[in-house]
Every structure is written in structure tokens, then in C-alpha cells.
């Protein structure tokens, strides 16, 4: 089971603000929050999330926001419901300012008390080119994979070649829409992969798991979070 990180509101938001101060990211960035609902109480999570979303919609710098329900975890699912939250900010500076302002808000603290965070990261495209998620993922039933991972010690120089070999095979699968690599301020690598539907994703996963390229790539990385989620 992937390690679950339990983060309270103050720690999560202050960490985000520190990232905003230290990074040299330019242009729009994505905040990714992979949230395991404590005790599986989705109604409680939904109620705590509502005022947070209302405030987010009025926050300067927020360009778009998504919350997708996960249906698949690698290597194995846990018993609790997981949601993948993504927010696109116009800049890392806007994210940092919002994080600083929100740290002490009771509604924010209340929400973070309802979740165990598997990941809370801010990322920008690894190639520096613009990325608009809704250009690719915009219909109910589509699937978005999100994985946070880093090369194992000593494998940093092998990452790009192994990734290219594996994702070349990913792109050949029916239902594949896109894949895009991102980086965090501290060097973690994050990928988003889009699929037309859950059936295509599961079929592709079955085919890819038999290929040496997948074994070679997964053999050189450590994953801290991995979820496949569906647009509802």
C-alpha cells in the first residue's frame, strides 16, 4: 500500500507557501491534493468542503478547479474513499498568497481534519510549455490518472529513457488521450494521463502490465501517490 501522509491544515498550507517562496516556477501551476476521506464519511467531507470551494471560487489567481472520485489505486486500493482535487493557479505567487491568507481560517482547518493527504503538491509542466487540462479532460466518464513519484537513488539519469520507453507503449493503447509530465519545486515528478473511459483504462492497464517497458520504468521509481479518477 502506498504510504498515506496525514497532514493538518496548517502544515499543508504552510508547506505550500514555503514552496511558493522557494521555487522559480513561472506561468500557471497546478495544485494537486489527493485526499483520502477519514472514516469513509463522504457526507461529512462534502459538508466541510462546501465553504472551502465557495471561498476558492472568489480567490484571486484561481483559473479552474476539479474534484474527481478515484476508482483505482496502485498497487492496491484501501478501504476508504479517495478524491483527486486539482486547482490551476495563474502563478505560484498567487498560490502562495492564498495559502498564507487561508492558513488560519477555521473552514480550511475543518476541511483538512476530514482527510488524510496522500499528496499535496504544486507542479508546473516539465517542458515549460503551457498546459490546459480541460483541453483534454472535459466529458463525464473520462479518466485521469495522477501519480506522484521520484527516481530511486542512483536512477535519476535513467528516468527519461525509461519513461519514454513506457509511455511510448501507453500512447499506443485504445482510449489514450494524453500524458504530460510535471515537476515540483523540490524535484518530485508528477504525471497526468487521460483516457476516454474506465473500460479503456482497465484494458490498457492489463496490456501494459505484461510489457517489459512497464516493469523497467516502475523498477526505477518510488511512488508516493497514485490514483485513477473519473469525471462525473
Quote the cell numbers at residue 125: 509542466
Structural contact between residues 51 and 87, judged by C-beta atoms closer than 8 angstroms: no
Residue 144: other Cβ atoms inside 10 A: 24
> In terms of residue numbers, what domain contains 155?
133-230
pLDDT value at residue 68: 97
> Residue 56's domain is classified under what CATH number?
3.30.70.100
Flag whether pLDDT at 104 surpasses 50. Answer: yes
Torsion angle, alpha carbons of 46, 50, 52, 54, to 10: 160
- Smallest CA-to-CA distance from 66 within 86, 39, 46 is with 86
- Considering the domain boundaries, does residue 3 fall inside one? no
pLDDT value at residue 34: 96
Which helix (H) or strand (E) is 119 found in, with range?
Answer: strand 115-125
Q: Are residues 212 and 118 in the same domain?
A: no
- Considering the domain boundaries, does residue 76 fall inside one? yes
Q: Are residues 85 and 172 in the same domain?
A: no
Residue 12's pLDDT band, with cuts at 50, 70 and 90, is: very low
**Over the range 150-173, which residues count as b (16 or more CB within 10 Å of their CB) and which as e?**
bbeeeeeebbeebbeebbebbeeb
Q: Are residues 164 and 120 in the same domain?
A: no
Q: Are residues 114 and 138 in the same domain?
A: no
Please, what is the average pLDDT of the chain?
89
Amino acid at each position: 500500500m502506498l504510504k498515506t501522509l496525514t497532514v493538518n491544515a496548517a502544515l499543508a498550507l504552510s508547506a505550500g507557501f514555503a514552496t511558493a517562496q522557494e521555487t522559480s516556477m513561472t506561468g500557471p501551476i497546478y495544485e494537486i491534493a489527493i485526499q483520502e476521506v477519514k472514516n469513509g464519511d463522504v457526507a461529512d467531507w462534502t459538508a466541510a468542503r462546501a465553504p472551502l470551494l465557495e471561498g476558492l471560487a472568489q480567490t484571486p489567481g484561481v483559473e479552474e478547479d476539479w474534484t474527481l472520485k478515484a476508482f483505482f489505486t496502485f498497487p492496491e486500493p484501501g478501504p476508504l474513499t479517495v478524491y483527486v482535487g486539482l486547482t490551476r493557479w495563474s502563478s505560484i505567487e498567487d498560490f502562495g498568497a492564498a495559502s498564507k491568507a487561508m492558513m488560519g481560517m477555521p473552514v480550511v482547518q475543518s476541511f483538512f481534519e476530514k482527510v488524510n493527504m496522500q499528496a499535496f503538491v504544486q507542479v508546473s509542466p516539465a517542458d515549460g510549455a503551457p498546459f490546459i487540462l480541460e483541453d483534454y479532460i472535459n466529458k463525464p466518464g473520462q479518466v485521469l490518472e495522477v501519480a506522484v513519484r521520484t527516481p530511486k537513488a542512483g536512477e535519476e539519469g535513467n528516468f527519461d529513457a525509461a519513461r519514454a520507453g513506457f509511455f511510448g507503449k501507453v500512447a499506443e493503447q485504445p482510449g489514450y488521450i494524453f500524458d504530460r509530465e510535471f515537476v515540483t519545486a523540490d524535484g518530485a515528478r508528477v504525471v497526468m494521463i487521460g483516457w476516454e473511459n474506465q473500460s479503456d483504462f482497465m484494458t490498457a492497464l492489463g496490456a501494459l502490465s505484461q510489457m517489459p517497458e512497464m516493469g523497467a520504468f516502475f523498477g526505477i521509481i518510488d511512488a508516493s501517490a497514485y490514483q485513477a479518477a473519473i469525471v462525473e
